Each structure stands twice: as structure tokens, then as C-alpha cells.
Chains A and B, each alone.
Chain A
Amino acid sequence: MDAEITLHVDGTARHVTVDARTTLLDALRERLGVMAPKKGCDHGQCGSCTVLLNDRRVITCLVLAVAHDGARIVTAEGLAQDDHLHPVQQAFIDHDGFQCGYCTPGQICSAVGMLKEAEAGWPSAVSDLAAAEVRLSPAEIRERMSGNLCRCGAYAGIVAAIQQAAR
């Protein structure tokens, strides 16, 4: 069964017909040609498909497009504005926080979402619950970024990049 929906992707309204079975990831990639979110597992196990959906980090292979009519989506491509990279993106380049780059757009969207969560005081499994605010130590960053796998093993650079961007 097909449905017509509208997605606001990186600042542009896009109308698209989707099968009821179409994931948001496939709607973006295969129907709209928005290739920044990557498909690494299609099962919510790797994080490479992460985007910001209404300002929150979401893995798009686990949500159905038809359930998100009208949603506001920012991909890694949309984080860069007028040739200016987002500070998190620049930090990833500075610290070589990637090799093949396939997990990278997901890592970056996840990091941007994570920084907001930390700023809002959301605790993680390693947070000091007595503390008034979240201090983004390397251990905090590692914990909060562990939903994004990197088979190239660029974690050391990723953590350094996020620390730089958080400053």
C-alpha cells in the first residue's frame, strides 16, 4: 500500500510516495536520493543511518516513513551550511575521526544529538547522578556514542573530535 507524505529534509520540503513497508532510511536513500544516512545493518544495530529527526538523533532504519509525515530531518549533509562545515564535522576532519567514512555521517548526527542531550542534563549509564550537570569526559562520550559502530576503529579520533566540538 502506498502513501503520499511530506518530509522536510535539510531545509527542503520533499513530497514522496512510500510503500507502507518503506523505512525512513529507504525513503531518504532510494526514493529521494538523500544518501548521507548510510545503511550498515538495516536492523538498528550499527547507527550508520542516524539523522536528526525533529532535533533528536534517530536511527532511520527502524522507523517507517509513513509514520513520519511532516517530520523535520537533518542529515549530515544538511549540517553543513553554505560551504561551512558544522563544528563537529570540522573536528572529525581535524582528528581523523574516520577512515572509510561509511559510519561517519551517522556518527556526526549522533554526536550533534548527543551534545544536546548532555547539555539538557540527560544522564548516561556512566554519569554521576549527584552532579548538577553532565561533564563530557571521554568516558561519557564513549558511552553515549556506543550506538554508532565503526569497523575501521576510528573511535579514538571520534572521541577527540567530539571533545573539541564540545568545548
Chain B
Amino acid sequence: MIGSPLPRLDGTAKVTGTARYAFEHRVADPAYAYPLQATVARGHITAINTSAAQAVDGVLAVITHENAPHLASTEDAELAVLQSTEIAFRGQVIGAVVADTSETARHAAGLVEVSYDPSPHDAVFTPDRDDLYTPDTVNPSFPTDTSQGDVESALKQSPVVVDHVYTTPMTHNNPLEPHTTVACWHDDQLTLYDSTQGVHSTRQSLAKALGLAPERIRVIAPHVGGGFGSKGQAHAHLVLAAMAAQAMPGRAVKLALTRQQMFSLVGYRTPTVQHVRLGAGPDGRLTAISMDVVEQTSRIKEFAEQTAIPARHMYAAPNRRTTHRLAALDVPVPSWMRAPGECPGMFGPEVAMDELANACGMDPVDLRVLNEPDVDPESGKPFSSRNLVACLREGAARFGWADREHAPRTRREHGWWVGTGVAASTYPVHVKPGSSATVRFQPDGRYRIEIGATDIGTGTWTALTQIAADALSVRVDAIDLRIGDTDLPPATVAGGSSGINSWGSAVVDAARAFRDKFGTGPNPGDEAQGTTPGNSAGERFAMRAFGAQFAEVRVHAATGEIRVPRLLGVFAVGRIINPRTARSQFLGGMTMGMSMALHEQSVLDERFGHVVNHDLAEYHIAANADVAGIEAHWVDETDPHVNPLGTKGIGEIGIVGTAAAIANAAHHATGIRVRDLPLTADKFLADARR
């Protein structure tokens, strides 16, 4: 079962549109809530006049700081909804209108009059601000700065030095299903259908904010329309939905954020400025690696993206240094976006490696192979497995890398400059403690597997069924899997590519316990529990997944238009549970990486503190026509140390390194080095005019 390309078990439901996402659960006679948002970036509300809104036929309630319930905990400032008059960023939730229909709620929301006493705000992100600060740790709890050897002297003595600043812009997750919640208070119980990456973690956050016992809250999410991190943590609208429902006991309240509202309320990837310095001998052997990162966070809640982390693990060099500094601004709260840390943090260094290869006259694949470390450079521990070189070699063979001409700007076809580029990928292996699973033998002869995990498109329904069938040695149709409900045993959030590692290990543990207890001839009702086992191997080994990505890029000589006709990735990620859904994970990550390379940029208007291109017409994501030849492969990798399944996690590594591979290919095509994402046409033209 494990390793077979089983088609998705939820496939029929999804292609017929009958899979139920949060907003689609049937509830009788719902009311609709529409959020109100601040129109200043900092200050206080001095007056809020809701009478015109309340007078509209069909309006049931207008909730503001004046009548909102008192929250039990305001420790998480993002969730401290309607607790004061203070405004900390433009777009902050300042209320909601609840009405019989969504049309009425939205119309009435426009009638609420808000007066502000604005204070001067600061939303200017630059790396040379004099108030940058050093966070205690970076996400989730890595050291902020590291240092080994003497980077400055090593750089001074290095015959070859690459010293450049690379930037990645503010970007937004934009899952296609907007963040939505249906909330209902009934007999002192709060039931939520929520678009979330973790039903149990959502319940915990909300229980804390509302001061409720978690048992009084039930969160249900059988299908989730993507998340990419933005649905990994509770955001303000969830508390708002709970408040709106509280105002209407017994009646379900539906709250859907609009696409525009998502640009201020559900997190985003912080912009990063990456000062990368590499020192090397003429042969390309690294002597020093230095990476200093500046990024933004919000004034009310810190999120310190761990952007310099991959530089700590990728290549050998005796002298190393990484730092993170933050600018705390009057802006929306940043958060997780697919591969936080690794995704932006492999842009600067992997482009710098390409620049080093050029400076040394070396092939960029050979340069990476030459600098392969024997042990993890950061900790000195051996890797449990590390197959970056195998990925580079196999990728090079499949891509036809050997035919590449060394010099940039040498191939021109029908008015297009053509080039190829490579970059490495990496992502840590996460196994999160705290998941449990139950196996129960049913009267129908099937095994019911219960675990409060989620499927955000990753294929959890299918993969966990395969894992359970394998562990119990039965056919997949003898498994009746239940996920996406807090009535099921606790499971950790779908994040950090940890889902299958963590939940799958709990399912295996439960299946083993079941067979130990009941053998192969159980009786209906027999059940056993299991949990994600602890793993001490982390003390002995560094555990990471690796990959290599190759891109072919065309840049139009006259217009600067950039296209990516070919993208090929090879990954070393431990054991693959389902090759069909795994390929989709890799291709999906790579496609999002291409999207990051070519298009994505949230433009924050510093004067007002909001994202101006806050919809899908102006915040561009890759469309079908952007993707041409795209392939994902993997090398066989057996790693007995990572967890009982031997999996490393595959949801994020596909986006890591893609943008660097494309930028490197664009340089090879044109001779123009673009160090600031995205790679828009103007950047190739501006340089060409020089």
C-alpha cells in the first residue's frame, strides 16, 4: 500500500464539487457577518456611529468595541479583537455587521460611520533604519544569530569574494479558498466549521481567547481549500465570528473574508533584505559564509522569519555568521507562508553561489558538489541522510546540463535570450509531538482510524489510509479514516511539512498496539490507541531533506518578457507514501516557486499602510499559461532515523530554491543579474539600457 500511486480517495467528491469546505456545511437559516476594518494605520477610534446600519431592514446586530464581549486573554494581540479603541494597522478588525443576508450585511457595513484620532504611523521598511532590533529567537525558536570562526578576516583573505544584497518582497499566501468560518453557539457549545490547517490548534487558540474549556468548542474541517501557512494559526476573524455567533445564540453565523480583506488579516511573508557574503579560494572552495537578514514585523506581534537558517546547514566553510534584525512597523501581522525561512532564505545564498561559480569560472553544479559538508556545519552532527549531490547529478543528467555553454548571454533564438540555471533546495525534517490515533474494528469488518488531522490538499485522506492499511496489513478499502474534527483524537497542525511524519507515526503506533492486543482476528468494538513516538535520533543526527532544481528561461531581447519553458526538480525526501500525490506536492511547490520568481509582490503603500494590489487581478500568481515543461523526480532514500515511516515531509521543499534557479537561468540567458524578486520585465530592460 505504501508506495503505490493510489488515486485520491476524495477525488470524486472534489471533481463533482461535493466535498464540503467550511462555508458549505448545511446549517439552517444562517445569519451573515461582514467585518469592518480600520481605515487609518495608527490611532484611536473616537466615535463609531452604527445607527444607520442598525436601521437597515434585516440587520441583526452591529458589533464594535463598545458592545463586544470581554476576552479572557489578550496575550495574542492579533486575537485581541474589539477590546479597545486602539488601531495598530490599517485593515484591523474594528467590528462586524450581522444580517439576514450577506448582501444586507455588506451594505449596512458601508453605513457605519467611524471617527478616528489618527497618530503618525510608520510603515517604511528599509534595512538602514536606526531602530532595527534583535529578536530573542527566530521562528519558531532558533537562535537569532550564529557565528563560527572569524568571517571578517576570512573574507579579507579570500581570493574570491561575492558580496551582494538580495531582496524578496512582501508576499501573500492567497489560498484559493478564502478564510471562512461558520460559527454556532448552541446550549453553551460553540461549533465551528472553519477553514483551518489544524482543528485542534484552532480550538486551543480560541478557547484561550474566549476563556472557555476546550471541550466546549468543536472545530470541523473535513476539506480545506489550501492554506500554505495562512490557515495554520487562528486569525482575528475567527474570534470575530465567535463573537457574532455569541450575539445570536442558536443561530449559525457565516463569516467569509473577501479576497481583499485577506491581504490585511491572515498573515503574509515578510519582505527580506539579505546581505550575503561568500569568501572562496580560486578553486571555489568556500572559506566564509555570511548572511545578515533584515525583515519586518508588526508593532503589536512579533514574527521573526528564520531566513538565515538554511545558510547554517547548506555548505561547508570554516568561518560562518548569520544574523536577523527586525523593523517593527505599523503594518499587518506577518506569519507563516509555505517554507518560512527556507523559501526566502534560499534565494540570496543560492544566487550568490551562482555568482561565485561565475567568478571562479566553475560549473555551478560542480561548485555545490565541491562544498558539500561531511557533517552538518552548524551542529557538527552527521546527517541522518543527505543526498543533495545525488539530486544535483540526477537532475543534471535528466535536464541535459552537460550540453550547457558556460558563458552567459550566448544563446539567442528568434529574439529571445535563452539560458539555464540551477539551485539547491532544503527543508528540515519536522516530527511534532502530540498526535494520537485510534484504531477500532467495526461490525462491517473494516477498521476505523480516527485522528484529528487535516487535508489541505496535501492528500492526507489518501496517504493516512495507505499508512493504516500497510500497518494493519489489510486492503485500503478495509480502512475507514476519519479526520478534520476535534471530536477525533488530538493531532498537530498541518505545517512544517510535518503532517504525515507526525500523524502517520501515530497511526502506525495505534495499528501496532491494536495488533499486539487483538491479533488478526479482532471482534467488533475492539480498539487501541497510539501516539507519535518520541525520537531521540535528533540528538545524534541533523535531519533535513534536500533537492536540486533546474530551470530553462527565455527573456525577450526587446521587451524583457520572461518565460520558463522548463523546470525540473529532483528531491531526496525519504520514503514516498504515494507517488501520485507526492508528485503533485513537488510540482505544486515548484509552480508556486515560479510564481514567486516571476510575479508575486504585495505593494504596501507606506503613506496609508495597506497593500494596494489586494486582489488576484493585481497580485499575480502563476496561471496555467506560465507553466510549460515541469517535472519532479526523487531519488531512493532510506532513512531509518527520521521516524518509523522513514518520511521526511514533502509539502514545502518544492518551493525552496525555485526562484534562485530561475534567476540564475535568467542571468545565464541575458548576462543581467537580478537580485531583487520578482523578475519582472523592467529589470531586464533597465539594465540593458546602461
Whether B264 is near chain A, meaning CB under 8 Å from some CB there, is no
Q: Name the one of B12, B23, B176, B256 contacting A100, with C-beta atoms under 8 angstroms.
A: B176
- Bound-complex Cα distance A33 to B626 (A): 35
A103 interfacial by beta-carbon distance below 8 Å: yes
Instruction: Please determine whether A149 and B11 come into contact, CB atoms closer than 8 angstroms.
Output: no
What residues of B have a CB within 8 angstroms of the CB of A94 in the complex? 7
Contact status A85-B15, CB under 8 Å: yes
Known: A96-B584, A158-B624. A39 touches B14 (CB 8 A): no
The reply to whether A142 and B625 form a contact with Cβ atoms under 8 Å apart is yes
Picked from A35, A90, A143, A149, the residue with its CB within 8 Å of the CB of B17 is A35
A40 touches B259 (CB 8 A): yes
Using a CB-CB cutoff of 8 Å, which residues 101-144 of chain A contact chain B? Answer: 101-105, 108, 138-139, 141-143
A67 at the interface (CB under 8 A from B): no
Give the nearest-CB partner of B180 in chain A. Answer: A39
A19→B12 contact, CB < 8 A: no
Known contacts A146-B624, A154-B584: A43-B615 contact under CB 8 Å: yes
A43–B16 contact, CB under 8 A? no
From residue 169 to 213 of chain B, which have CB atoms closer than 8 A to chain A? 174-178
B174 — which chain A residues lie within 8 A by C-beta? 151
A residues less than 8 Å from B20 (CB atoms): 35
Q: Does B628 lie within 8 Å of A77, measured CB to CB? A: no
A155/B225 contact (C-beta < 8 A), A33-B26, A35-B18, A42-B259 known: no
A103 contact set on B, CB distance < 8 A:
176
Q: Are A156 and B630 in contact (CB under 8 A)?
A: yes
Are A38 and B102 interface neighbours, CB within 8 A?
Answer: no
A48 beta carbon closer than 8 Å to chain B: yes
CA distance A53 to B21 in the complex (A): 24
A74 to chain B, nearest CB (A): 11
The residues of A that contact B624 with a CB separation of less than 8 Å are: 141-143, 145-146, 148, 150, 155, 158-159
List the B side residues contacting A43 at CB < 8 Å: 259, 615-617
Of A22, A48, A102, which is within 8 A of B103 by CB?
A22
A153 touches B627 (CB 8 A): yes
State A85–B101 Cα separation when bound (angstroms): 34
Question: Is B313 positioned at the interface, with any CB of A under 8 Å from its CB?
Answer: no
Interface centre among B7, B15, B174, B623 (most CB of A within 10 A): B15
The answer for the CA separation of A41 and B177 in the assembled complex, in Å, is 9
- A39–B176 Cα distance when bound, in Å, is 8
State whether B627 touches A104 (Cβ < 8 A).
no
Return the CB mask of B213-230 against A: 1 if under 8 Å, else 0. 000000000011110100
Complex formed: what's the CA distance from A108 to B464 in Å?
Answer: 27
Contact B623 A146 (CB under 8 A): yes
Pairwise interchain contact B17-A99, C-beta atoms closer than 8 A: no
Within the complex, which residue of B103, B592, B626 is in contact with A19, where a contact is CB–CB below 8 Å?
B103
Q: Is B19 an interface residue, CB under 8 A from the partner?
A: yes
* B258: Cβ under 8 A from any A Cβ: yes
CB distance from B470 to the nearest CB of A (A): 20
Report whether B627 and A142 are in contact in the complex, using a CB–CB cutoff of 8 Å: yes
Chain B residues with Cβ below 8 Å from A48 are: 176
Bitwise interface map of B from 672 to 685 toward A, beta carbon under 8 Å scored 1, else 0: 00000000000000
Residues of chain B contacted by A19 (CB below 8 angstroms):
101, 103-104
Contacts of B13 in A (CB 8 A): 101
B15 pairs with A89, CB closer than 8 A? yes
Tell me, yes or no, whether A46 is within 8 Å of chain B by CB. yes
Contacts of A151 in B (CB 8 A): 174-176, 226, 228, 592, 621
Q: Which of A35, A138, A139 has the most CB of B within 10 A?
A: A35
**In whole angstroms, what is the CA distance A111 to B455 when docked?**
25
Q: Which of B20, B228, B587, B624 has the most CB of A within 10 A?
A: B624
B-contact bits for A56-78, CB 8 A (1 contact / 0 none): 00000000000000000001110
Closest chain-A Cβ to B662's Cβ sits at a distance in Å of: 14
Cα distance A92–B622 when bound, in Å? 20
B580 A96 Cβ-Cβ under 8 A: yes
- Hey, what's the 0/1 contact readout for B223-260 against A, CB within 8 Å counting as 1? 11110100000000000000000000000000010110
Question: Which of B7, B102, B585 is the one whose CB lies under 8 Å from A30?
Answer: B102
CB neighbours (8 Å) of B616 from chain A are 40-41, 43, 45-46, 149
- Chain B residues positioned under 8 Å from A39 (CB to CB): 23, 178, 256
- A 1-44 to B, binary, CB cutoff 8 A, 1 in contact else 0: 00000000000000000010110001001100101111111110
Which residues of B have CB within 8 Å of A100? 175-177, 223-226, 456-457
Within 8 Å of chain A (Cβ to Cβ): is B588? Answer: yes
| Nearest A residue (CB) for B580 | A96
Q: A108–B14 Cα gap in the complex (Å)?
A: 10
What residue in chain A is nearest B254 (Cβ atoms)? A30
Contact of B12 among A33, A85, A153, A154 (CB under 8 A): A85
What residues of B have a CB within 8 angstroms of the CB of A98 in the complex?
A: 14-15, 457
Closest to A19 in B: B103
Give chain A residues whose Cβ lies under 8 Å from the Cβ of B456: 100
Instruction: Determine which of B7, B176, B587 lies in contact with A149 in the assembled complex, contact meaning CB atoms within 8 Å.
Output: B176
For residue B446, CB closer than 8 A to chain A, the reply is no
Contact at A45–B176, with CB atoms within 8 Å?
Answer: no
Q: How far is the CA of A89 from the CA of B15 in the complex (A)?
A: 6
| Chain A residue nearest in CB terms to B622 | A153
**CB closest residue in chain A, given B20:** A35
Neighbouring B residues of A30 by C-beta, 8 Å: 101-102
Closest to A41 in B: B259
Among A89, A99, A138, which residue has its beta carbon within 8 angstroms of that of B226?
A: A99
Q: Give the residues in chain A near B623, CB-CB below 8 Å.
A: 146, 149, 155
Across the interface, do A45 and B14 meet the contact criterion of CB distance under 8 Å?
no
Complex Cα distance A19/B11, Å? 35
| Residues in chain B near residue A150, CB distance under 8 A | 176, 624
Chain B residues with CB under 8 Å of A96's CB are 7-8, 580-581, 583-584
For the complex, give the distance between the alpha carbons of A76 and B17 in Å: 6
Interface residue B283 (Cβ < 8 Å from any Cβ of A): no
Quick one: which of A41, A76, A80, A102 contacts B225, CB cutoff 8 A? A102
Q: List the B side residues contacting A79 at CB < 8 Å.
A: 16
A144 to chain B, nearest CB (A): 9
Q: A26-B102, A79-B16, A98-B15 are in contact. Are A38 and B177 (CB under 8 A)?
A: yes
Q: List the A side residues contacting B12 at CB < 8 Å.
A: 85, 89, 93
Q: A86: shortest Cβ distance to chain B, in Å?
A: 8
B225 surroundings in chain A (CB, below 8 A): 38, 100-102
Q: How far is the CA of A151 from the CA of B258 in the complex (A)?
A: 16
> Shortest Cβ distance from B525 into chain A, in angstroms?
32
Residues of A within 8 A of B580 (CB): 96
Asked if A93 and B15 sit within 8 Å, CB to CB, the answer is: yes
On chain B, the residues within 8 Å of A75 by CB distance are 17
Q: Are A93 and B17 in contact (CB under 8 A)?
A: no
Contacting residues, chain A, for B19 (C-beta < 8 A): 101
Chain B's nearest CB lies how many Å from the CB of A114? Answer: 11
* 16 cross-chain CB contacts under 8 A: A19-B103, A29-B23, A41-B615, A45-B259, A76-B15, A76-B17, A92-B15, A96-B583, A99-B585, A100-B223, A101-B13, A101-B457, A141-B624, A152-B457, A153-B590, A155-B622
Return the 6 tightest CB-CB contacts between A and B, nearest first. Answer: A36-B17, A153-B591, A100-B457, A102-B225, A101-B14, A105-B17
Given A43-B616, A100-B175, A143-B624; 7 other pairs, CB 8 A cutoff: A43-B259, A46-B176, A76-B16, A93-B11, A100-B176, A100-B456, A155-B627
